Structure 1
Amino acid sequence: MTQSSTSTSPGTSRSGPTVGSAPLLGEPWGVDRADGTRWAKDPSVVRFQGRYLMYFTLRPEEPGAGLCVGIAESRDLASWELVARLHPGGDYDAKGLAAPGAVVVADVLHLFYQSYGTGPLDSICHATSTDGVTFERDASNPVFRPQGEWNCGRAIDADLVVDGDRLLLAYATRDPEMREQLVGVAEAPLGSGFGRDDWRDLSLDGPALRPELDWEGECIEAPAFVREGGRPDGGLVMFYAGAYNNVPQQIGWATSEDGVTWTRGTVEPFLPNGAPGTWNSSESGHPGVLTDDDGRTYLFFQGNDTGGRTNLLAGAEIVWAADGRPALRED
């Protein structure tokens, strides 16, 4: 399915839908469902082999089946076409898979996604692709679950960034009572296969981020890595979702010098939910960040105005101030 939109260069100014005062990259997008609504969640976008690919959570085609991962393609970041689905591939994700995080390493696309529907047993799984559409599952799946007494052992919402000679993985988990959502970080050698034996949990003594601000409620989740300014040598920045879905969920950001200890960039949401009557009045949630080949950076996120009955994906360009603070491009 293709959502019609005027083709433009990414990030150029245009009339059309906005988030606050910032123009979106195109119309909010989702996959058509049999009941006439559209639904898509949890975006992760990369540029791979000359086009943009977005991986996201998708409702099943068959009633009673589990969630799957949708794969959409774009040439301009404004219009998207659903090109494939990734369905469960083993006992570990038989109930469903969701919340993908994609990263390209040495011309191979690595997709990390969570198993879904098993509560505290949900784990991070791994698959690789040379074309971005067909995937080979990691024989050691699931590849990561957190350690430490501060969490329940669950791992969801993976996101990745290359950091020197290592690959950093940010994940969400919950406290042992399954009440509070928290974020941790792990690492694997960049030259490894990123299988189960390659990961080292860096958040053994406690979470990298936990909800502390009023608007974050009981939830910090959906971490999304980016380099400050879109530069390979820029400092580490993490966008994240605060509060559970539709509470409303809103987006914040934090910085780190080592990938382990994180400091919030602001006490207010970077991207709040929209005003009543707008397309994202129920939430602006679950961020994903693309750094393009030219260093320009784009924030993708989910939003809806139905309390979660529908969900759409949208994007806007990030600009960076001289002091390294991000903002949404408004011109």
Structure 2
Amino acid sequence: MKGFCMMRMTTCRFTGIVVMLLLLMISMVSSSLAQDEAGALFTTVGDGPVVEFGPRGEWDGRYTDPGAVTYHDGQFYMFRNGFQSWPASVQVGYLTSDDGINWTEVTEEPVFTTDEVDYAGTAMLASSAEVRDDGTWALYFYTWERPAFRGAGGAIGLATADDPLGPWTPLPEAILSPGSRGEWDETQLAAPSVVRTDTGYVMYYTGYDSRNRQSIGMATSEDGITWTKYDDPTTTEAPFAESDPVLIPAEEWEAEAVHQPRVVKTDDGWVMIYRSPGPGRGMMRLGLATSEDGINWTKSADNPIFAPDDLPNGNTMWFTALTHVDDTFYLYVEGSDTAGVPDTSIYVATYTGDLVGD
């Protein structure tokens, strides 16, 4: 009888251990599924790029990114950047689409080039576009002054045209420039995203400080030409004496940079997709932030919401563009799907629903 009881107790202990292991495995699987669900907020369309880089030797023969994408009168328009190396001269191509997925190149030649911007330095990159009430097309771009990866310098400019095919005429000077020495945006401005509102325009942009720390700033304008940086009156000392960022790197995955804001205003509120390089080279990830007023932003608890692994055979991920049409967000991503090959093309991922409420 004693032996039977001992055997029963051993069996019970063994059964308990098995149950605990099963519960642990279920918990791990559930956690993994939750992480996968968070990372799959946007669904990549198809198993390849929607726009590919050009033939070898051409202006876009190695890299292309989505630059500026806008929707007007029932059609999508893309002003993509093409280049053969980086940092180097960049040219802008022009494509159209009826559905945001299948794109047609309107002309094989670029419609706007770095050489047309006197103050561009090394490069000029398209970043945001819109059509004014009078039919004028506006293309916001940023410059890369020196052929360097850090401390290159650069500002934000504007070009206009009567037709997206051009000719494009850049304003003779930048419309937004870096701050004074010691400010949070003292060395370089980049990647403007311009949103039209009932009272004018709002621009979100990347600002670089002297240590290459990158934050996201905001500026407002009545006419889209003359801009005023957002300035919190309660911050009077450098680096926030002249203006203030509206989003700063604070999470571990963001390392020392939140940059490249892509912003749209919906009926539910403001939506921003931003990029962070992570702790190492090639670790680019995308984050989501939402706002009720365009100034105070809340980062998603599920960040990062998109990574290179979310692309087909994802290897690297760089520039993005975002547009919102009929309750669907279209996220365009520059990426390479072949390990060891640095050529980049353009992919698209979508999300239908309310990102502000989610």
TM-score, normalised by the number of residues in structure 2: 0.72
Maintained 8 Å contact 1:213/1:267 = no
Q: How do residues 91-170 of structure 1 correspond to structure 2 at under 5 angstroms?
A: 91-106=118-133, 107-118=135-146, 119-147=151-179, 149-170=183-204
Q: In structure 1, what is the Cα distance between the partners aligned to 2:69 and 2:200?
A: 21
Residues 135 and 308 (structure 1 numbering): CA distance in 2 closer, same or farther, change over 3 Å?
A: farther
Cross-structure match for 2:53: 31
Maintained 8 Å contact 1:187/1:202 = yes
Q: In structure 2, what is the Cα distance between the partners aligned to 1:308 and 1:141?
A: 37
Maintained 8 Å contact 1:42/1:56 = yes
Superposed structure 1 runs of 4+ greater than 4 Å apart: 35-38
Q: In structure 2, what is the Cα distance between the partners aligned to 1:307 and 1:48?
A: 38
- Report deviation, 1:201: 0.4
State the AA in 1 paired with 2:140: F
How many positions carry a matched residue from both structures? 293
Correspondent of 1:222 among 260, 269, 279: 260
Which structure has the highest helix share of the two?
2
User: Deviations for 1:172-212, whole angstroms, at most 9, x for unmatched residues?
Assistant: 121123x21221110101xx2x33xx100015443211222
Residues 155 and 307 (structure 1 numbering): CA distance in 2 closer, same or farther, change over 3 Å?
A: farther
Cross-structure match for 1:213: 251
Q: Alpha carbon RMSD of aligned pairs, Å?
A: 3.0
TM-score, normalised by the number of residues in structure 1: 0.77
- Report deviation, 1:161: 0.7
Report the secondary structure of 2:323's partner residue.
strand
Maintained 8 Å contact 2:66/2:81 = yes
Residues 108 and 266 (structure 1 numbering): CA distance in 2 closer, same or farther, change over 3 Å?
A: farther
Correspondent of 1:280 among 314, 317, 324: 314
Q: In structure 2, what is the Cα distance between the partners aligned to 1:266 and 1:259?
A: 19
Residues 235 and 25 (structure 1 numbering): CA distance in 2 closer, same or farther, change over 3 Å?
A: farther
Instruction: Report the more deviating stretch, 66-75 or 155-164.
Output: 66-75
Cross-structure match for 1:200: 228
Cross-structure match for 1:252: 287
Cross-structure match for 1:14: none
- Report deviation, 1:312: 1.6
User: Deviations for 1:61-106, whole angstroms, at most 9, x for unmatched residues?
Assistant: 9x99612222222233223233242102132024221142112331
Residues 44 and 253 (structure 1 numbering): CA distance in 2 closer, same or farther, change over 3 Å?
A: same
The gaps in structure 2 that reach 5 residues or longer are: 1-39, 232-241
Residues 98 and 241 (structure 1 numbering): CA distance in 2 closer, same or farther, change over 3 Å?
A: same
Instruction: Report the more deviating stretch, 28-37 or 67-76.
Output: 28-37
Report the secondary structure of 1:54's partner residue.
strand
- Report deviation, 1:157: 0.3
Indicate whether 1:264 and 2:264 are aligned: no
Q: How do residues 12-91 of structure 1 correspond to structure 2 at under 5 angstroms?
A: 22-24=43-45, 27-28=48-49, 29-34=51-56, 38-48=62-72, 50-59=74-83, 66-82=89-105, 83=107, 84-85=109-110, 86-88=112-114, 89-91=116-118
Q: In structure 2, what is the Cα distance between the partners aligned to 1:281 and 1:257?
A: 35
Report the secondary structure of 1:215's partner residue.
helix
Maintained 8 Å contact 1:302/1:313 = yes
User: Deviations for 1:201-225, whole angstroms, at most 9, x for unmatched residues?
Assistant: 0154432112222222222111011
Residues 303 and 278 (structure 1 numbering): CA distance in 2 closer, same or farther, change over 3 Å?
A: same
Residues 45 and 246 (structure 1 numbering): CA distance in 2 closer, same or farther, change over 3 Å?
A: farther
State the AA in 1 paired with 2:144: Y
Instruction: Report the more deviating stretch, 49-58 or 216-225.
Output: 49-58
- Report deviation, 1:270: 1.2
Q: In structure 2, what is the Cα distance between the partners aligned to 1:25 and 1:159?
A: 27
- Report deviation, 1:34: 0.9
